[in-house]
Amino acid sequence: MTIRVLPENIINQISAGEVVERPSSIVKELIENSIDSDASQIELFIRGGGLESIIVQDNGSGIPSKEISLAVLRHATSKLNDDNLNIISKLGFRGEALPSIASVSETTITSRTQNDKLAIMFKVSHGEIDYQKVASREVGTTVKVTSLFQKTPARLKFLKSIKAENSLCKEIFQKIALSHPNIAFKLIINGKHLLNYSSQFNLNNSLSNRVKEVLGEKLFADCIEINSSFENYSLRGFIGLPTINRPTSSMQYLYINNRPIRDKNIFYAIKAAYSETIPKGRHPIGVLYLDLPHDLVDVNVHPSKAEVRFQNFQKIRKLILTTLKSAIAKAGFKVSSELSLDIIKKFNVTNFSNQTSGIISPQNQNNKYQNFQWPELDEKLHNNDLMDNPPFAKVEENIRDREFESFPLGAAKGQLHSTYIISETKDGIILIDQHAAHERLVLEEMKENYKQGQLSSQILLIPEVINLKSIEKNILLENQEHLKKLGFEIESFGDESIIVREVPSLLGHANISNLIKDVAEELSILETQISIDDKINSIISKSACYGSVRSGRILNASEMNSLLRKMEITPNSGQCNHGRPTSIKLSLNDIEKLFGRR
Ligand code: ADP
Ligand code: MG
């Protein structure tokens, strides 16, 4: 066969493979065109997963009638004024979307500019111009896409169910809406008005209002606002508390200069920022806006414009890490309301309906509980028997209680199952997992003291000899210096043992032998190229686990209250070292709901 240049129509179909993967990619391109036209209102109508029809309607500048046929030509764009690809300020610039879409569907564009009295309607069917005629319309543009992939059926095979395609369209709609709070957006799927985001024009807090609209009020309440900058880079947004984590990263929204993008490196930077506060395999949520000079980022990497290349990623990584880490640390003990809501659901569903519905449900009137009576009060209970089984920790009514109640974590009222502290605040109650909380306190204190070079150690009265496998013994001796800096003084002792002479004072009466074995095991499974900081962190983390109060240890009132007061001033104290929450709050409102008072 001879070499020939392919017809325009085929070229468009090939390029459509990159731009128009599925209905949601069309939604993205059309909405971005509407944004570029300075619209203040954009409406998206979807039918049948986008395969029946996709309509995007805006009140933007419109397309001049003499230019409308150019809009569907390949590489025709109004957005690159001075042919400079280094300065791209509009969302579009490649002039590929409309020709690609029109080559795999029936596309009708109806548009009118302020200078035109009438609108122009222009239809292209699978790459061939159908007609151009006069129509009526307000200023703005409507693009209607039907018969998608009808002539390229191979594409249909790659699509998911109609329901899944609908939700992908919804996802991309929300993603774009998050970055343009000044534009009002409506989403109508199969005739149903699903989302209606108001225009946040004239409001100072337009961005937070839009994020609240998209995430929902409850999730938004569990987010921390961030705002920081470094040289020419600025980072704003809202990030979720570590306890609000998800099995995938799909709720991480990322924008570079207001363009929604995906970026592996940024994903890893976010992950690193949460590394000590979130369980393995879980992902934080957040909406992050990174702004930087256009010449420091290349958006022309892929036709879908969802990937970018940075000129200096290290600076961005540093900005993300420091901003997120300090925001998470500052949020400290902030208790998640989403978790509390989960608990309420459990109270309602699991505990009551499953286990006790037999007693209270009217359908069960004939069951064995029908004649249920309260048992006679046991006389013995009035005697001193009770005193033989005192509550685990009896908290004396204390004059300081009133004062403590106004603290965020309240006044400790007692200990349950020698594991949980229950405290009273002005507007609710809080349950605290004493081990999880104390573990974080010891960790942060060790880290801080280590940083300041002030980790004191205590000499063991009787040095502890620990038998180890030779590989573990070697790894400990290799790390002897790091261990020493942390307060552990160890030496080789015979063939298969080491002797521990000093341990960090913070560890109290921890089980040193088990701790050292654990540290040895941890160090031996860590990759060899891991940084010293990471090694130190892992030793500190293990030590904190051993050095903290165990579940099962009875605490008195002042111990409990001092734990709560310390949590309030310790960074990251809302999660233990493994990312589990340390406390859970039930507001009086929630409690009233539980009892049906609300
Ligand atoms: P690009 O957005 O990369 O320029 P497109 O193929 O998406 O390429 O669009 C081609 C041109 O059509 C745009 O440059 C713009 O001039 C015009 N256009 C498309 N959609 C709209 C719209 N909704 N409002 C105004 N102009 C539009
Ligand atoms: Mg475009």
What does the DSSP assignment read for 482-495?
HHHHTT-EEEEETT
Backbone φ and ψ for 463, nearest 5 degrees, come out as -55, 145
Cβ–Cβ under 8 Å, residues 43 and 162 = no
Q: Would you write out the chain's pLDDT as a tens digit for each of its 598 residues? A: 788 877 777 777 776 667 788 999 999 999 999 999 999 999 999 999 999 999 999 999 999 999 999 888 877 788 777 666 666 678 877 788 999 999 999 999 999 999 999 999 999 999 999 999 999 999 999 999 999 999 988 888 889 999 999 999 999 999 999 999 999 999 999 999 999 998 876 667 789 999 999 999 989 999 999 999 999 999 999 999 998 889 999 899 999 999 999 899 999 999 989 987 888 888 999 999 999 998 899 887 776 677 889 999 999 999 999 999 999 988 876 666 666 666 666 554 333 333 333 333 333 334 333 333 333 333 333 333 333 344 444 445 555 667 788 888 999 999 998 899 999 999 889 999 999 999 888 888 888 888 888 888 889 888 999 998 888 898 899 989 889 988 999 999 988 899 999 998 888 778 889 899 888 888 877 656 567 777 788 888 888 888 887 777 788 888 888 899 988 888 888 888 888 889 888 888 888 877 778 7
Residue 142: CB within 6 Å of ligand 1? no
Which residue has the least CA distance to atom 2 on ligand 1? 92
pLDDT at 215: 95
Residue 162 Cα to ligand 2 midpoint, Å, equals 25
Residues whose CB is less than 8 angstroms from the CB of residue 408 and which lie 6 or more positions away in sequence, other chains included: 333, 425, 568
Q: Which two tokens stand for residue 260?
A: 């929604």
Residue 89 Cα to ligand 1 midpoint, Å, equals 14
Q: Record the pTM.
A: 0.70
Which residue has the least CA distance to atom 13 on ligand 1? 77
Backbone φ and ψ for 321, nearest 5 degrees, come out as -60, -50
pLDDT at 252: 96
Residue 161 Cα to ligand 2 midpoint, Å, equals 27
Residues whose CB is less than 8 angstroms from the CB of residue 391 and which lie 6 or more positions away in sequence, other chains included: 414
Q: How many CB atoms lie within 10 A of CB 56?
A: 24
C-alpha distances (whole Å) from 472 to each of 160, 289, 487, 539, 540 are: 51, 46, 19, 14, 18
The DSSP symbol for 53 reads E
Residue 264 Cα to ligand 1 midpoint, Å, equals 29
Name the 3-class secondary structure at 55: strand
Q: Which two tokens stand for residue 414?
A: 């007692």
Residue type, 48: G
pLDDT at 389: 40
Residue among 180, 164, 249 at smallest CA distance from 214: 180
Q: How far apart are CA 320 and CA 326, in angstroms?
A: 10
Residue among 258, 269, 267, 263 at smallest CA distance from 320: 269
Cβ–Cβ under 8 Å, residues 311 and 273 = no
Residue type, 130: D
Residue 425: CB within 6 Å of ligand 1? no
Cβ–Cβ under 8 Å, residues 64 and 112 = no
Cβ–Cβ under 8 Å, residues 181 and 159 = no
Question: Residue with structure tokens 């699903």?
Answer: 194
Residue 209 Cα to ligand 2 midpoint, Å, equals 27
Q: How far apart are CA 37 and CA 59, in angstroms?
A: 8
Residue 42: CB within 6 Å of ligand 1? no
Q: With helix as H, strand as E and coil as C, how does 258-309 read?
A: CEECCCHHHHHHHHHHCCCCCCCCCEECEEEEEECCHHHEECCCCCCCCCCE
Q: How far apart are CA 217 and CA 214, in angstroms?
A: 9
Residue 237 Cα to ligand 1 midpoint, Å, equals 29
Q: How far apart are CA 122 and CA 137, in angstroms?
A: 13
Cα dihedral sign, 151-154-157-158 = negative
Q: What share of the chain is helix, strand, coil (3-state, %, to 5)?
A: 40, 25, 35
Q: How far apart are CA 423 and CA 407, in angstroms?
A: 11
Name the 3-class secondary structure at 533: helix
276-294 exposure pattern, b = at least 16 Cβ within 10 A, e = fewer:
bbbeeebbbbbbbbbbbee
C-alpha distances (whole Å) from 196 to each of 50, 183, 186, 192, 436 are: 19, 11, 5, 11, 42
pLDDT at 95: 82
CA 186 to chain centre: 25
Residue 95: CB within 6 Å of ligand 1? yes
Q: How far apart are CA 256 and CA 88, in angstroms?
A: 12
Residue 71: CB within 6 Å of ligand 1? yes
Q: Which two tokens stand for residue 115?
A: 């200078």
pLDDT at 94: 78
Question: Residue with structure tokens 């109270």?
Answer: 347
Ligand 1: residue of 25, 36, 115, 116 to mutate (most ligand atoms within 8 A of CB) is: 36
Burial class (CB in 10 A: 0-12, 13-18, 19+), 473: buried
